[in-house]
Chain A
Amino acid sequence: MKIDLRLIPVFSLAFMIGYQVDDWLNAPLIKYYPNINAWSWGWVRVPAGHNTIGWFGWIAWGLVAAIVVTALYALVPRRLTERISWSWSWVVPVCTAIFALYIVITGWWLHAPG
């Protein structure tokens, strides 16, 4: 199988952005409940006070976003994408990490109980 190398940066950036946006929206595709070892779809409502892990669901949405965006990018003619330089794209993981810090500060340290 030959990998189209021009798609790789698109997949990576879409994955990290999709993940972080979904974390911000707190809309995981799936949830895990470690105290009862059970899974549910993300939209299932559970009683307050539960111990819920959304991390796997955020990763899942990140992967879905990456696959969709990469598939759409693959449809763009090569002559239009050949001139795009990705050497600036290191800014995206840095910005995503800063945004993650913002989410943690506002979600955990300022507003979480405890």
Chain B
Amino acid sequence: MLAQATQSITFVPDLGLGYHVTYSIVVIVHLLLAITLLGAITHQTLAVLWPARPLAPAGAGAATPSLRRGYRGVRVNLYTNAVIVLYLLTALVGTFLYGPYRLTILPFFYGHGLKLFGGIFELKEHFVVIGLALLPVYWLLWKKVPLTEQVAYRAIVTTILAAFVWYSFLVGHVLNNLRGFGT
């Protein structure tokens, strides 16, 4: 059976409409999950890198906090479990897309002198796994260590995770623009 796997690296199989429609839907689900994850991890990272100072007690004439202060002042430790679940779900859906990507999109890049983008995507898959491995430490720092301890360590780990998520999101977006399913 494996002998049938022999193909040119630029061979793009002609697959039916149902294939492209199915994977277009999966790509959209992947995108929606990724956007939600991006929002949560970005909010958490900004709040931990640039924390808002505590507000003065509300009283007569107290100013309403600005949008910027309100954004940074959210209790972002509450985002932790959501970030972990969204990361796992986004990666899981991405896993279902990886085979079709290798089957129909990567050969297109090879055939059109775009192997640079194959490498950029390869880096994304590595960053996703490093981020996956980092999730237990991320959970430990946000959920089990008091928020007044290990502040720098927590900020750095959150920033690294956010950087991986941003890179993955941007690469996925650009590659889908270059050659999406059904195009």
Q: Which residues of A contact B (CB under 8 A)?
A: 5, 8-9, 11-13, 15-16, 19-20, 23, 32-38, 40, 44, 46-53, 55, 58-59, 62, 66, 86-87, 89-90, 93-94, 96-97, 100-101, 103-105, 107-109, 112-114
Do B133 and A87 touch (CB < 8 A)?
A: no
Known: A9-B140, A35-B4, A114-B110. 7 other contacts (CB 8 A): A9-B137, A49-B6, A51-B5, A51-B102, A53-B99, A62-B129, A90-B157
A-B contact count (CB 8 A): 140
Q: Which of A11, A20, A90 contacts B160 (CB 8 A)?
A: A90
Selected from A15, A36, A101, A108, the residue in CB contact (under 8 A) with B133 is A15
Q: Which residue from A19, A34, A35, A47 sits with its C-beta under 8 Å from B130?
A: A19
Assign chain B's interface to a size class. 35 or more
CB < 8 Å neighbour of A51 from B9, B127, B130, B140: B9
Assess the B130–A97 pair: CB atoms within 8 A: yes
From B98, B131, B137, A53 is in contact (CB under 8 Å) with B98
Interface residues, chain B, with chain A CB atoms under 8 Å away: 1-10, 13, 98-100, 102-103, 107, 109-111, 113, 115-116, 118-120, 122-123, 125-127, 129-137, 139-140, 144, 150, 152-153, 156-157, 160, 164
